Each structure stands twice: as structure tokens, then as C-alpha cells.
Amino acid sequence: MVKGRSSNLIKLRNEALLRRYYYWTEVRRRRFDDTYRILSEEEFFLSVDRIRAIIHANIGMLDNMEIKPAPRSRRVHSDRQLSLFKD
């Protein structure tokens, strides 16, 4: 039996990390530094440098993943916002 981390689990983790990176940068339109902080401190508990290295090493996987874009939703305006357009 081989000691150490399972290469299959590492591959799955990296894929999940890339999916979340895509979500935060493309769907939620967050800045890159905010995205790295969220992934580091709230989701994967790895250092920002390690997350950057994983993304850089596996960025080509994003092209092969089937990531469906989120449907755009209409923003509901409050009554206060709509009152600005009334005469």
C-alpha cells in the first residue's frame, strides 16, 4: 500500500477548487484577491499561495469541465428606487 495522500483525492480537491474559483470570479464577479481569501479562509483552509499554485497548475482543466453558466436573474427594485422615476 502506498503511503501519503491519494492522488485521486487530490485530483478531486483540485477540481472542486477550480469550480469554486470559477464561481467566485465569473458568476459572482468577485475580485481575484477576494476570491483567494474566500477560498483560503472559508472553503478549503489552505494558504493563499498554495491555492494560487493549484489554480495556476490546473487552469487548463477549466476548459475541459462542463460548467454551466448561471442563469441571469432580473433584479427586483424596491419601491424607494422606483419612486425616483416617477414624476
CA-to-CA dists, residue 6 to 3, 13, 14, 27, 68, angstroms? 8, 11, 12, 31, 28
Handedness of CA 49, 26, 64, 12 (dihedral sign): positive
Q: Is the pTM of this model over 0.85?
A: no
Nearest to 22 by CA among 46, 53, 47, 55: 55
Q: Per-residue pLDDT for the chain (87 aa), expressed as one digit of tens each?
A: 678 889 999 999 999 999 999 999 988 999 999 999 999 999 999 999 999 999 999 988 877 777 655 555 566 666 666 676 775
Give me the half-sphere count of Cα atoms (radius 13 Å) on the Cβ side of residue 25. 14
